[in-house]
Amino acid sequence: MKNINDNTDDHGILSVVATPIGNLSDITYRAVEILRQADIILCEDTRMTKRLLSHLDIQDKQLSAYNEQKSGASIQKITDWLSEGKHITLVTDAGTPGISDPGSILVGHIRKNSPHTIIQAIPGPSALVSALSISGISIHDFTFLGFLPHKKGRETLFKEIAEAKRPYVFYESPHRIIKALESLKKFAPKKNVTIARELTKIHEEVVSGTAEELLQFFDDNKEKVRGEIVVIISN
Ligand code: SAM
């Protein structure tokens, strides 16, 4: 058993910090405090994180790019920093790290190989939970698919969604939403589809109906085939 209070000076801390998914006021007090304290901030895109830090008036922080495709700060370098007792925070461009975003490989590695490191969650926004919370769908259990595969396994997933008893949720880009709705129309024509778009931003919108109704909606409102999208399919 390891507790956050077990930390001593020579044990590093890895704080996994959620950041806003649109509205910058959605950062938590604790996230700001942790970002201020951090020795190093690992981020997906340093330009995006610089913008957030500047909004929070946090200056002179060491930023290091981290992604799970091996460019930027390597896991070995991060492990070294932690063994020197550094406080490292991990953020992504938006939302909660590790949820369809970099983070889980790093956290898994640190958990396994640096047992003295304190790994702590600094919870906050996530598009997944935000969308579910205003969907009006009863959520006791659900299946989250992240981003759908473009080719292999895609049709099988749509068939699985068609048969599902519980809600299914996935992230989708505006370039692919019409294609996803067309597949839903084909494989799951009777299901209710909820689209949560641009959450926490000026054009936040939630629309629902059958896939066919939503295709008609987007055909009538072509300017709305844009922004960031969460799709929920329910019975
Ligand atoms: N880790 C992030 C989280 O916790 O929300 C998700 C990162 S994933 C790379 C980005 C996807 O999340 C977008 O393509 C979109 O599907 C969804 N997303 C992010 N921000 C959103 C928003 N403001 N409104 C709706 N969906 C959003």
Q: Which of 21, 23, 134, 204 to mutate to test the pocket of ligand 1 (most atoms within 8 A of CB)?
A: 21
Residues 187 and 166 placed together within one structural domain of the fold: yes
* pLDDT band with cut points at 50, 70 and 90 for residue 9: very low
Residues 121 and 188 placed together within one structural domain of the fold: no
What string of DSSP letters covers 154-222? HHHHHHHHHH-SS-EEEEE-TTTHHHHHHHHHHH-TTSEEEEEESTTSTT-EEEEE-HHHHHHHHHH-G
Q: What is the CATH number of the domain that holds 55?
A: 3.40.1010.10
Residues 82 and 167 placed together within one structural domain of the fold: no
Q: For residue 55, give every residue at least 6 positions away whose Cβ sits within 8 Å of its Cβ, in sequence order, or none.
A: 24
Work out which ligand 1 atom sits closest to the CA atom of 198: 24
Whether residue 132 is predicted with pLDDT greater than 50 in this model: the reply is: yes
Residues 9 and 96 placed together within one structural domain of the fold: yes
Whether residue 127 is predicted with pLDDT greater than 70 in this model: the reply is: yes
Q: Which of 17, 99, 229 to mutate to test the pocket of ligand 1 (most atoms within 8 A of CB)?
A: 229
- Determine contact, residues 105/14, Cβ cutoff 8 Å: no
Residues 225 and 173 placed together within one structural domain of the fold: yes
pLDDT single digits (tens) 152-185: 899 999 999 999 999 999 999 999 999 999 999 9
> How many A from CA of 129 to the centre of ligand 1?
10
pLDDT single digits (tens) 211-227: 999 999 999 999 999 99
Mean pLDDT within 80-93: 97
pLDDT single digits (tens) 29-54: 999 999 999 999 999 999 999 999 99
Interatomic CA distance for residues 159 and 144, integer angstroms: 15
* pLDDT band with cut points at 50, 70 and 90 for residue 64: very high
Q: What is the CATH number of the domain that holds 164?
A: 3.30.950.10
> How many A from CA of 113 to the centre of ligand 1?
30
Residues 143 and 209 placed together within one structural domain of the fold: yes
Max Cα distance, the chain (Å)? 60
Torsion angle (degrees, nearest 10) of CA 194, 178, 48, 42: 80
pTM equals: 0.94
List residues bridging with 89 in a β-sheet: 15, 41
Residues 143 and 98 placed together within one structural domain of the fold: no
By residue range, what is the domain housing residue 221? 128-234
What is the number of domains present in the chain?
A: 2
Work out which ligand 1 atom sits closest to the CA atom of 18: 4
pLDDT of residue 234: 97
pLDDT of residue 11: 84
How high is the mean pLDDT of the chain?
A: 94
Residues 87 and 177 placed together within one structural domain of the fold: no
Query: 16 CB under 6 A from ligand 1?
Result: no
* Domain-ending residue, one of 125, 152, 178: 125
Residues 28 and 88 placed together within one structural domain of the fold: yes
Mean pLDDT within 95-99: 98
Whether residue 71 is predicted with pLDDT greater than 80 in this model: the reply is: no
> How many A from CA of 109 to the centre of ligand 1?
25
* Domain-ending residue, one of 94, 125, 156: 125
> How many A from CA of 116 to the centre of ligand 1?
32
Interatomic CA distance for residues 93 and 127, integer angstroms: 12
Residues 62 and 17 placed together within one structural domain of the fold: yes
* Domain-ending residue, one of 100, 125, 150: 125
Residues 132 and 119 placed together within one structural domain of the fold: no
